[in-house]
Amino acid sequence: MKMLLHDPAARWTEALPLGNGRLGAMVFGDPAASRFQLNEDSCWTGSPATAVGNRHDDRPVGGSEVLAPLRAALARGDRREATRLEQMLQRGYTQAYQPLADLVIEQAAAGPSAVSTRRILDLAAATASTRWTAPTGEPAEDRGPLATLETTETSWISAADQVLVIERRADHGDLGPLRLRLTSPQQDSATSVVDGALQLTARMAADVRREGKQERLVPDPAPGAAVTALVLARLEHDGTAEPGPDGTLRVDGATRLRIVLTAVTDSRGAQEVPHGDRDRLAAQAGIVLDAALARPAAELAARHVAAHRELWDRTAVRLVPSHAEEIEVVPLLARTAADGDSRLLAQLAAAYGRYLLISSSRPGTLPANLQGVWNQELLPPWHGDYTTNINVEMNYWPAEPAGLPECHEPLLDWLEDLARSGQRTARALYGLPGWTAHHNADRWAFTAPVGDGAFDPVWSMWPLAGAWLCRHVREHWDFSRDPAVLERFWPVLRGAAEFLEAWLVEIEPGVLGTSPSTSPENRFRTADGFETGLDVSTTADLAMLRDHFRTTLEAAAELGIEDPLLPRLRTALEQLPAERIDAHGRIAEWWQDHEEADPLHRHQTHLYSVLPGDAVTVADRELAAAATASLDARGPDSTGWSLAWRVGLRARLHDAEAAHRSLLAFLAPVEDPDAPGPHGRAGLYGNLFCAHPPFQIDGNLGITAAILEMIVQSHAGAIDLLPALPEGWAEGSVRGVRLRGAASLDLDWSGGALTRVVLRAASPAGRSTPDSQRTLVLRHRGRELAVELPGGAPVEVDPAALAR
């Protein structure tokens, strides 16, 4: 599947993304100055030596001294005082994800005035290609059409060899005079030509300083205060190259040009101070390039494609019987908005989400942040951080069902860092055991409540991130059934549960709950008109607590662990209230009904038990109807990631047409691609990046998971086939969709009816073996069928056995 765009990218959100999890590039395709905007995933401001959020000695009043009066204020209904006290718990800000550099290939001499451009992103090969065609001004033959000159530039980022490769060729031979330059937006940066190679060093800022509502980057030359990065690019060509006085290279007389580039940093972990040795970085980059350039060009390209396709080929979604190999993106966006036929664009969106996850999260890298691995801003929206009250979790919703468990690993690796930092926060801020994290986190495992004493508690006061993130441990295990997952993450699961059990207070006699509590990031109005988000025992809190306590207890049972914490968790579960239905017939969001400040709010965390949790299913008709009413009340429009969540929620509730309406809203072209946001109506930019607005990648990744949820679900004790298939998706297929219980599914349907069902069992490592036999229950339109699934061979199920 290939995405086709015409004309060079006029905006960053029209450029084509490449990535290998660690390195990222946005490809613009301008014939006069072909720009590759570069990122490296460990380029963040700050360091373990300077990250304020990992220290708790910068406030005169200890958090544990504040918690008791804060809870007392909430108990008597004094939310103004509760807000003042909560702000005393705030401890700084997350650091910001940083752009690294630009590589620009300039046409040093003026070319033909009229140039047509075709830009293609090949999702299956993870390759971007740009073709520029220009008239020569001379007829191709007597009285014939004008002849043309064609130049092609192809690029990719190899996961196998850790390099960006750019190849340029012209059908007319000479590429013309070219000038190559590396630049960086970083204030502390320098470029040079070393032995015919372009080299750039850049040192990130040491902190993001907030002054009122304004932010600025603060440099610090002290050793260990900031991350240093180095970019090295070597050239292969058949012309001549001369360095310029400004760190550029001029290439003349070449008929072919190949650039092989890598980037390295001295950032090696959330707790390891950067070393700052630029010679050491240069040597490290040289080793990477030596190894890559030692391979023939064809082998280097083949290794890249093979590493990508090993992941890409596992899963496929088809909603249209046939389509052109190259899909013209902009006309498709307009056509889908006009006629409501979502099939091809939904198929492309599901594929694009898989491509983006593979490209921004691979084993050994950092997790995908709010923008994946791509960013050109020194102060990106929300610092480009890890927002833990939905966004970073949504990034990884497609990882397991889309057959990409390896891409899940960076989040789980980072979770261990977060738990270590969160132990300090739990102890120093609250005087409690275990570990906690709040609304925002970063590369340095920030876990404190964000703010400087003036932030709104509606996002600052939310110590439930551990519970939501640990849901990903549960999912990783549910899909693989690998006991090693639970063995590795038992300390993380237990530590989060230990904090949350200690966090509980008695709200009413015999009833446990949380105080303070918020429903991210929503607010209500009190009787005197005060707008706040601070409450006790929000539905979201209680849902996550129940979910995490059950996960911890099940993990302990699976591992045969006996622990004095476990009886306390069982007791707590008995005293935690379940979902409540409010006076409007909706799932209540708050402990008591309040006047809504924003009835159309983008968050719907009070529906956690529907998705990503699994405690509320369509089998519970009363709660399912209340959840549907809650979604209806939120309205048809929202931000991009919120619409992706709503598609998934509607799918879980088996409401196919409502899911499709939200999907169409998600797939609409963005109204104003230059609008800075935040929030507002969603849409897709010219390169199909999701508009929050502004761009956030969670929408792209979340919609992939949601589309799969419309076709197959495995969370409710059975495998539901076509549970939320809209009327317009009468024909289609999926291949290699992973199921909870360590199995996978191939599925075909026509006329809305099943035509082919194939199940495969898998061992924990993903391989089918004789000892991986299990029984799965298939469910379709009220019919159930138990299937014995032996290891080692697929099982084809007769669709008639599931037909009415």
d(CA 163, CA 620): 52
Kindly report the pTM of this predicted structure. 0.96
> And the tokens for 153?
């530039």
Residue 527 within a domain: yes
* Torsion 534-539-543-545 (CA) sign: positive
CA 786-791-796 angle, 5° bins: 50
pLDDT at 10 over 80: yes
Residue 615 within a domain: yes
Strands 188-194 and 719-721: unpaired
Smallest Cα–Cα separation from 232: which of 245, 246, 247?
Answer: 247
DSSP letter string, 208-270: EEEETTEEEEE---STTSS-EEEEEEEEEESSEEEE-TTS-EEEES-SEEEEEEEEEES---S
Give the residue ranges of DSSP H helices in 42-198: 63-75, 79-87
Both 743 and 798 in one domain: the answer is yes
Residue with tokens 């750019």: 166
Both 344 and 419 in one domain: the answer is yes
CATH number for the domain harbouring residue 191: 2.70.98.50
Task: Quote the mean pLDDT of the chain.
Answer: 93
If you ran DSSP here, which 8-state letter would residue 755 be given?
Answer: E
| CB-CB contact of 719 with 709 (8 Å) | no
> And the tokens for 330?
């902009």
Residue 599 within a domain: yes
pLDDT at 246 over 80: yes
Strands 178-183 and 511-513: unpaired
**Poorest-confidence range of 143-147, 299-303, 636-640, 771-775?**
143-147
The pLDDT, as a whole number, for residue 165 is: 98
Question: What's the whole-number mean pLDDT along residues 624-649?
Answer: 97
Question: What's the whole-number mean pLDDT along residues 328-334?
Answer: 97
Both 216 and 281 in one domain: the answer is yes
Residue 788 within a domain: yes
| CB-CB contact of 783 with 799 (8 Å) | no
**Poorest-confidence range of 241-245, 387-391, 396-400, 768-772?**
768-772
Tens-place pLDDT, residues 663-689:
999 999 998 888 888 887 789 999 999
The pLDDT, as a whole number, for residue 146 is: 47
Q: Helices 640-652 and 697-711: crossing angle, nearest 10°?
A: 20
Tens-place pLDDT, residues 507-540:
999 999 999 999 999 999 999 999 999 999 999 9
Residue 412 within a domain: yes
| 3-state class (DSSP) for residue 139 | strand
Tens-place pLDDT, residues 589-623:
999 999 999 999 999 999 999 999 999 999 999 99
Tens-place pLDDT, residues 698-757:
999 999 999 999 999 999 999 999 999 999 999 999 999 999 999 999 999 999 999 999
| CB-CB contact of 402 with 739 (8 Å) | no
> Is residue 208 very low, low, confident or very high in pLDDT (cuts 50, 70, 90)?
very high
The pLDDT, as a whole number, for residue 401 is: 98
Q: Helices 329-339 and 656-667: crossing angle, nearest 10°?
A: 140
Both 420 and 472 in one domain: the answer is yes
pLDDT at 60 over 50: no
Tell me the residue ranges of DSSP E strands in 368-487: 386-387, 440-441
Domain interval for residue 788: 732-802
Burial 696-726 (b: 16+ CB within 10 A, else e): bbbbbbbbbbbbbbbbbbbbbebbbbbbbbb
Last residue within a domain, chosen from 278, 312, 346: 312
Both 90 and 185 in one domain: the answer is no
Last residue within a domain, chosen from 639, 662, 687: 639
Roughly how many angstroms between the first and final C-alpha of the chain, as a whole number? 36
| CB-CB contact of 494 with 501 (8 Å) | no
> Is residue 475 very low, low, confident or very high in pLDDT (cuts 50, 70, 90)?
very high
Both 296 and 220 in one domain: the answer is yes
Question: What's the whole-number mean pLDDT along residues 542-570?
Answer: 98
| 3-state class (DSSP) for residue 584 | coil
Smallest Cα–Cα separation from 96: which of 377, 329, 293?
Answer: 377
Last residue within a domain, chosen from 620, 639, 658: 639
d(CA 750, CA 729): 9
Tens-place pLDDT, residues 748-801:
999 999 999 999 998 654 444 445 578 999 999 999 999 999 877 899 999 999
Residue 246 within a domain: yes
The percent of residues in the chain predicted with pLDDT above 70, rounded, is 95
Residue 90 within a domain: yes
DSSP letter string, 456-513: -HHHH--TTHHHHHHHHHHHHHHHH--HHHHHHHHHHHHHHHHHHHHH-EEEETTEEE
Both 440 and 524 in one domain: the answer is yes
d(CA 566, CA 547): 14
CATH number for the domain harbouring residue 360: 1.50.10.10
| 3-state class (DSSP) for residue 414 | helix
Residue 714 within a domain: no
Both 484 and 608 in one domain: the answer is yes
Both 399 and 529 in one domain: the answer is yes
The pLDDT, as a whole number, for residue 56 is: 40
The pLDDT, as a whole number, for residue 768 is: 45
Both 75 and 105 in one domain: the answer is no
Burial class (CB in 10 A: 0-12, 13-18, 19+), 738: buried
CA 262-264-267 angle, 5° bins: 160
Both 106 and 90 in one domain: the answer is no
The pLDDT, as a whole number, for residue 111 is: 57
Count of structural domains, the chain: 3
d(CA 359, CA 373): 8
Residues 6+ apart with CB under 8 A from 315: 354, 402, 403, 404, 734, 735, 736, 737, 738
Strands 2-6 and 16-19: unpaired
Question: What's the whole-number mean pLDDT along residues 565-577?
Answer: 98
Both 348 and 308 in one domain: the answer is no
d(CA 578, CA 546): 9
